[in-house]
């Protein structure tokens, strides 16, 4: 809870959380926000924004606003689902490798480094291409199983330093089983790393899903921001002047990415106070530099 | 030397892993993989050609392990099979042609954004807490969190369609013949401007944040205080005491970032219709041209490994401790 209170004192976190809460609320109440179905033809093709259609219509006559608010559900679900999977795999493997050491560490570390040097997007493209039209669920699962390496690396190196601390040593002396040391001595001290990993993974998953769908590897019947981009691009929305069709999902993705990144940076600043900017720090730096040379 | 040899062995293993994924994926598909692959490509090939294709995928009448070695043999001799869409053009030819444009784009953009990002990070860390730091950090967060596809579409909309300052596609004027002349080169620069701008925008923030964080963590060190105590000028301490040491972890983060950079470039090329790897790949995805999609994984992995090795080499130069080890 201290983390939450500290977050609320951080300007970046407040802006980021506001954006996120807004998007989550929109996703939850999507059907109440619009009278139009996201998959039905409700108007003439490529109508510019108007009172009837706030963000205009697509080439197929779908309401862009309705698709946008319904699409938020898919983007968030894939982001959070895949992010959770990535974080769980990364944290578990990272703690085990860092704490157990020896052969287990070497094996995990070897595979982690290997996954890190095989470029992620090209690999995803190959996997998605063989799967065919990948549904959001499938995309979330393959993202989860291919993108955990960074988390392992960071968690492992942090675990390596924590296992040397006195409280871990004393737990070992007391004869605590190693699973207990890993879950209740080491894990609680990794919370900020795990949080950063989780949010970073959500950002990555949201971007990756949109990218795969934009490239035509998604299921075109899904209502998601990536598929909106794909349809708009296929309808040559920009060259026929239907900017609303393409820019709406663009701005939504940008906003979601920004909100998540702001929260992530705030957690980073709380975990490592030296990274802070503005506010208190500015006053402190000002005092120090005012005092410089006076000694 | 031992360090570099160990890295080389590791890269070989990683490349083998990518090739192994490529080998097993088609075999995990239900039914006859070759038939599915070619049916979905919608092309009609003669039996003769089909057999030639099977051969490059290692589909021979032999036990699995022999198929595997036959596949590895063709991969390591530089044979990635033939494109289905442009049969019988070899995949290596198709991708090799495109690779030049991608490498040019990625190389220059990385150089610009790494220099720019590192510089911004150093300045922001040195003046942490000031307005400059707040603005730079906010821009960096924005640049590193917005998807490449979004940035490129917005850049295309603003500069390509609305202001019409730059062309919306191709790497050079299609009417010109490639030549080492100013008209051709200036056309290449003119066409490359928007993809380059986008890639630099997407990459700079990440480098700036990494450098800022590394540098701030160093500023409390004793040798910084020592430098100041010696009465060295501010810029001297900043560049030669702090930035120089903060650069080391930044360079190693560059090695990991190369995958992201390549991926970003793939997307940007698709949006700007730039004839690099990304666009070739996009056409291959649309046509379900599996040999090309698989070939790009190996080529991208290769590019990633080579650039990682270059980073390893620069690490040896930057960190004298590694030379002795």
Asked if B262 lies within 8 A of A122 by C-beta distance, the reply is: yes
Angle at B147 between CA B166 and CA A114, to 5 degrees: 120
Query: Are the C-beta atoms of residues A246 and A238 closer than 8 Å to each other?
Result: yes
Closest CA to B97 of B245, B305, B277: B277
Chain A contact for B102, CB < 8 A?
no
Q: Give residue B251's pLDDT.
A: 81
Cis peptide upstream of residue B88 (ω within 30 degrees of 0): yes
Q: pLDDT digit string (tens) for A93-114?
A: 999 999 988 899 999 999 898 8
Spell out the alpha helix ranges (H) of chain B. Answer: 2-28, 33-40, 47-56, 64-76, 91-126, 131-145, 148-155, 182-218, 222-229, 234-236, 244-271, 277-286, 290-318, 321-324
Question: How many CB atoms within 10 Å of residue A159?
Answer: 26
Asked if B308 lies within 8 A of A238 by C-beta distance, the reply is: no
Chain A contact for B137, CB < 8 A?
yes
Closest CA to A91 of A189, A208, A171, A170: A189
How far is the C-alpha of B317 from the C-alpha of B34, rounded, in Å?
48
Asked if B21 lies within 8 A of A285 by C-beta distance, the reply is: no
Asked if B147 lies within 8 A of A257 by C-beta distance, the reply is: yes
Q: Which residues of A touch B213 (CB under 8 A)?
A: 268, 272, 275
Q: Give residue A24's pLDDT.
A: 93
- B229-257: average pLDDT: 82
Q: Give residue A79's pLDDT.
A: 93
Residue scoring higher pLDDT (B88 or A195)? A195
Q: Give residue A13's pLDDT.
A: 87
Asked if A122 lies within 8 A of B14 by C-beta distance, the reply is: no
Minimum distance, in Å, between the CA of residue A178 and any CA atom of chain B? 31
Closest Cβ–Cβ partner in A210, A217, A276 for B147: A210
Closest CA to B202 of A11, A244, A257: A257
Q: Which of A196-200, B27-31, B36-40, B148-152 comes out lowest in average pLDDT? A: B36-40
pTM of the prediction? Answer: 0.85
Nearest CA in chain B to A288: B129
How far is the C-alpha of B139 from the C-alpha of B136, rounded, in Å?
5
pLDDT beyond 90 at A92: yes
Asked if A254 lies within 8 A of B150 by C-beta distance, the reply is: yes
Asked if A122 lies within 8 A of B296 by C-beta distance, the reply is: yes
Fold of A2-294: MetI-like fold (1.10.3720)
Q: Give residue B66's pLDDT.
A: 80
How far is the C-alpha of B166 from the C-alpha of B179, rounded, in Å?
22
Whether complex ipTM tops 0.90 = no
Q: Report how far apart, in Å, the C-alpha atoms of A228 and of each of A69, A221, B222 are.
A: 12, 10, 54
Closest CA to B157 of A229, A9, A141, A199: A229
Chain A contact for B202, CB < 8 A?
no
Minimum distance, in Å, between the CA of residue A235 and any CA atom of chain B? 13
pLDDT grade for B32, boundaries at 50, 70 and 90? low
């Amino acid at each position: 809870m201290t983390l939450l209170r500290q977050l609320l004192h951080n300007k970046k976190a407040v802006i980021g959380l506001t954006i996120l809460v807004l998007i989550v609320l929109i996703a939850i109440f999507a059907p109440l926000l619009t009278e139009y179905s996201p998959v039905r033809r409700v108007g003439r093709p490529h109508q510019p924004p108007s009172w009837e259609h706030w963000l205009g219509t697509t080439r197929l006559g779908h309401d862009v606003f309705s698709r946008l608010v319904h699409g938020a559900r898919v983007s968030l679900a894939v982001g959070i689902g895949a992010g959770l999977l990535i974080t769980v795999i990364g944290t578990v493997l990272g703690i085990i490798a860092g704490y157990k050491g020896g052969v287990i560490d070497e094996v995990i570390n070897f595979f982690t480094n290997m996954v890190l040097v095989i470029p992620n997007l090209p690999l995803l493209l190959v996997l998605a291409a063989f799967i065919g039209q990948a549904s959001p669920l499938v995309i979330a699962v393959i993202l989860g199983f291919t993108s955990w390496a960074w988390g392992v690396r960071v968690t492992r190196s942090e675990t390596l330093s924590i296992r040397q601390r006195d409280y871990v040593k004393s737990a070992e002396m007391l004869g605590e089983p190693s699973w207990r040391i890993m879950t209740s001595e080491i894990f609680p001290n990794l919370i900020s790393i795990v949080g950063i990993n989780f949010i970073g993974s959500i950002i990555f998953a949201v971007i990756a899903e949109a990218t795969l769908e934009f490239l035509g590897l998604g299921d075109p019947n899904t209502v998601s921001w990536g598929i909106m981009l794909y349809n708009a691009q296929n309808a040559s929305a920009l060259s026929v002047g239907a900017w609303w069709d393409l820019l709406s999902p663009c701005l939504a993705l940008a906003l979601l990415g920004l909100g998540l990144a702001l929260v992530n940076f705030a957690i980073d600043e709380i975990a490592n106070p030296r990274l802070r900017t503005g506010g208190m720090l500015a006053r402190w730096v000002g005092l120090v530099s005012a005092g410089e040379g006076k000694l | 030397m031992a360090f570099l040899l160990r890295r080389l062995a590791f890269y070989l293993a990683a490349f083998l892993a990518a090739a192994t994924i490529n080998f097993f994926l088609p075999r995990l598909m239900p039914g006859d993989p070759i038939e599915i692959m070619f049916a979905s490509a919608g092309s009609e090939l003669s039996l003769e050609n089909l057999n030639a294709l099977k051969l490059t995928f290692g589909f021979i009448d032999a036990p699995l392990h022999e198929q595997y070695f036959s596949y590895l043999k063709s991969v390591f001799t530089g044979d990635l099979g033939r494109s289905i869409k442009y049969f019988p053009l070899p995949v290596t030819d198709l991708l090799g042609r495109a690779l030049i444009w991608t490498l040019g784009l990625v190389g220059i953009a990385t150089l610009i954004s790494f220099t720019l990002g590192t510089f911004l990070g150093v300045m922001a860390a040195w003046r942490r807490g000031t307005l400059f730091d707040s603005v730079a950090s906010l821009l960096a967060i924005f640049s590193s969190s917005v998807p490449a596809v979004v940035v490129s579409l917005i850049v295309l909309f603003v500069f390509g369609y609305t202001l019409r300052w730059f062309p919306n596609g191709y790497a050079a004027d299609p009417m010109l013949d490639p030549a080492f002349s100013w008209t051709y080169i200036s056309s290449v620069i003119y066409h490359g401007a928007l993809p380059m701008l986008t890639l630099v925008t997407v990459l700079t923030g990440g480098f700036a944040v990494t450098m800022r964080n590394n540098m701030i963590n160093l500023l409390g060190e004793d040798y910084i205080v020592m430098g100041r105590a010696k009465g060295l000028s501010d810029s001297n301490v900043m560049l030669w005491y702090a930035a120089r040491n903060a650069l080391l972890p930044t360079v190693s983060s560059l090695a990991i970032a190369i995958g992201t950079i390549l991926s970003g470039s793939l997307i940007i090329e698709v949006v700007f219709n730039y004839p690099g790897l990304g666009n070739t790949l996009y056409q291959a995805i649309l046509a379900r041209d599996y040999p090309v999609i698989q070939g790009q994984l190996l080529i991208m992995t290769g590019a990633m490994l080579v650039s990682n090795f270059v980073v390893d080499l620069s690490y040896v130069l930057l960190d004298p401790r590694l030379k002795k080890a």
